[in-house]
Structure 1
Amino acid sequence: MIQPRPRPIPEATVARLAVYLRVLTALADGGRSTVSSGELASAAGVNPAGLRKDLSHLGPCGTRGVGYEVGTLRDRLTRVLGVERSRACVLVGIGNLGTALAHYAGFGSRGFEFVGLFDAAPSRIGQVIGGRTVQPVEELEQVVAATQASIGVIATPAEVAQSVCDRLAAAGVRSILNFAPVTLAAPAGVDVRKVDLSVELQVLAFLGQQRLAPPEEQPA
């Protein structure tokens, strides 16, 4: 008998599942064994109904009147999100942002390991950042092949980001996180997520301005 394929989880839901996993990990580290849907929803910044709808993609995972077993739900989310094993990542662009990313210890605790740091500037080659030596960008393909890196992070200037994306895709990287302020074109089968910090700041500035404006001046 052919088993039905599991229904795909919407991208927005996946993002929230990752937040639930972060909260559950913190609860588990603090010794908690159970958590109510209301408490988990509040800690994740969502409403309880939305939480239950998101978790319905995982199948039955809570007990009425008790809530969720922290360890069990954490482990299920870990498997669903595919972070039960370490993922090899490469980072291209070791400017201020790239350096901060390379130093951030939180990636390692969540199953992501930078196996290669790359830059085109001779002054940065050979620097040790986050315990790893910065290599010339010419060695990118070689390192991707040797480490089977599946994720590439781009923190380069906008004008070179597309060429870096092309090289990562050609080398076999199928997931790219782009911090460069430009939209990238990637071939089919390569997922690109864009993080534009300036846009996020502009949104916050607008929201702050709107909050301070008199009601009659706010947009309808």
Structure 2
Amino acid sequence: MKSPSHPRDRGIPEATVARLPLYLRALHGMAERGTATVSSEDLAVAAGVNSAKLRKDLSHLGSYGTRGVGYDVEYLVYQISRELGLTQDWAVAIVGVGNLGRALANYGGFVSRGFRVAALIDADPEVVGDDIAGLNVEHIDELEAVIQRRGVSIVVLATPAAAAQKVCDRVVAVGVTSILNFAPVVLSVPESVDVRKVDLSIELQILAFHEQRKAGGPLMAVDSQ
């Protein structure tokens, strides 16, 4: 599947793009509760941003709401989904089917957001052939063929750190330009390839820092010399 042009190519700031999924998540919750319209203030609170920033973000989509009424929830869901490319069906391959890969494969929230796990790939002979979430785990030797055969647009890397760059090089060589990386390593990719990194250990360390400060933990020592 051909990737759509990036929002940044149309003048939408990266910071705005990063917040659009927050708005979409809040809007989905409102739609499920039967909410037809929402004010910028209420949507901002639900998304955890300030209302002025939200209004500016949505103006990049051409959505300004109606004074005294607010935003139409259903239409705003459509606008944001279209901008993020979620009105299409994106085939995803998960490479690395350990505990994390299995959890991702079994996550039910992908389909409702426009993503379909189309392939599971691993190097372990003990894992290859397993049936997970209705998919047969295929061998890493078949990586390129599987990506092409299943029309994969996005690859999720849940491999050990030592294997991540090699797998990354192979998926890029076969034409994949969007990678979600869970491996604890920084990947080297061409400028045309988008990589989003998810490092749970770093997030936990940041939380530990804040917990320590809230508890009155150690401050930076002052050099008396």
Fold equivalence (TM over 0.5): yes
* Equivalent in the alignment of 2:4: none
How much has 1:6 moved relative to structure 2?
Answer: 7.1
| Corresponding position: 1:95 with 2:98 | yes
| Corresponding position: 1:131 with 2:119 | no
Identity in percent: 57
How much has 1:8 moved relative to structure 2?
Answer: 2.1
Q: Deviations over 1:118-138 (max 9, x none)?
A: 000011011111221111011
RMSD: 1.8
Consecutive unaligned residues in structure 2, runs of 5 or more: 1-7
CA distance in 2, matches of 1:121, 1:138: 11
CA distance in 1, matches of 2:174, 2:92: 13
| Corresponding position: 1:73 with 2:80 | no
What SS does the aligned partner of 2:196 have?
Answer: strand
* Equivalent in the alignment of 2:204: 201
**Do the aligned partners of 1:61 and 1:73 also contact (CA within 8 Å) in 2?**
no
**Do the aligned partners of 2:55 and 2:64 also contact (CA within 8 Å) in 1?**
no
CA distance in 1, matches of 2:180, 2:128: 22
CA distance in 1, matches of 2:17, 2:188: 23
**Do the aligned partners of 1:154 and 1:161 also contact (CA within 8 Å) in 2?**
yes
Q: Deviations over 1:9-36 (max 9, x none)?
A: 2222112101111111121122110011
What is the letter of the counterpart of residue 20 of structure 1?
Y
| Corresponding position: 1:184 with 2:177 | no
User: What does residue range 1-220 of structure 1 map to in structure 2 within 5 Å?
Assistant: 7-213=10-216, 217=219
Residues 90 and 49 (structure 1 numbering): CA distance in 2 closer, same or farther, change over 3 Å?
A: same
CA distance in 1, matches of 2:165, 2:21: 28
How much has 1:174 moved relative to structure 2?
Answer: 0.9
What is the letter of the counterpart of residue 138 of structure 1?
D
Consecutive unaligned residues in structure 1, runs of 5 or more: none
TM-score (structure 1 length as normaliser): 0.92
**Do the aligned partners of 1:144 and 1:172 also contact (CA within 8 Å) in 2?**
no
TM-score (structure 2 length as normaliser): 0.90
Aligned residues: 214
Q: Deviations over 1:69-94 (max 9, x none)?
A: 00111111111111001100111001
**Do the aligned partners of 1:33 and 1:69 also contact (CA within 8 Å) in 2?**
yes
What SS does the aligned partner of 1:54 have?
Answer: helix
CA distance in 2, matches of 1:52, 1:136: 48
